[in-house]
Amino acid sequence: MSTDSNNPFDLAAEAARVLAEHTGVNRHQAAVVLGSGWAGAADELGDVVADVELGDLPGFPAPTVAGHRNLARSVRVGDTPVLVLGGRAHLYEGHPVSTVVHGVRTAIEAGCATVILTNAAGGLNPAWQVGQPVLLSDHLNLTGTSPMAGPPPPPDRPARFVDLTEAYSRRLRSLAHEVDPSLPEGVYAALLGGAYETPAEIRMLAGLGADLVGMSTALETIAARHLGAEVMGVSLVTNAAAGLSESELDHAEVLEAAGEAGPRMVALLRGVLERL
């Protein structure tokens, strides 16, 4: 199958075809994208069917950020075939937005009607301790770009003006509350990243209604909703946002906090996948 390298939708379809060849699974039902420090969840979610290096799939760069894996894993959670992406691309690495959302577009081309996006985030709510998982109820896309900008989608795809009124599925959030009734919900602010925010920026974000801040997720959510997938977002509070504690922000501590919360995260993700 030939693809137009300038058409990101064709590239995603080609990546899905190669994924099916490598895994022997023609269609997956759900996808899980693992954020910083969550990679170990790929080992615990379900029965492993096959592993593929992300770099072996068309359009996927190998992850460069610590805490991400160069891994696409096909697992079965009960009767549900699930695609687990152990890493993601970020704008701050210099990738174009089409590369940042390539994973979710590929997952949807591979059959995934549900996309679960996870991330490590700074918490603006002082009531949330490090290690607290938070369901995303909405987001602020402050990255300065969108997967819907640029050339229009091809005629066989939906129009670019996707409705984001319910960016994060109420149904999936209800399933998550069945698994863990104590989960709070919050608004995630997505920034370009590459450096942590200043205290002044955190005060600005709080004034805009943000509860969490990070460097991913929102663009993937837009791309997934454009193609009709339901999205659930989960942030793990791995640090207090800048100016809200005496500690300096450090990526190693983010990874440590994510690792310590691993069992709770796996239980949540697995519980939701079992209820689909």
Dig out the tokens for 157 from the structure.
Answer: 């795809």
Per the residue annotation, which of 197, 201, 220, 248 is the catalytic one? 197
Q: Strands 230-240, 114-123: parallel, antiparallel or unpaired by DSSP?
A: parallel
197 is catalytic: yes
- Specify the residue for token string 């899980």: 32
**Type of residue numbered 135:** L
Q: What is the DSSP string of 206-246?
A: HHHT-SEEESSSHHHHHHHHHTT-EEEEEEEEEEEPTTSSS
Please give the radius of gyration of the chain, using alpha carbons only, rounded to the nearest integer.
Answer: 17
- Specify the residue for token string 């005629």: 155
> Per DSSP, what are the bridge partners of residue 76?
47, 81
Closest CA to 222 of 117, 123, 84, 134: 117
Closest CA to 15 of 65, 80, 85, 69: 85
Q: What's the CA gap between 24 and 202, in Å, rounded?
A: 46
- Specify the residue for token string 């969550």: 38
What are the residue numbers of the active site?
197
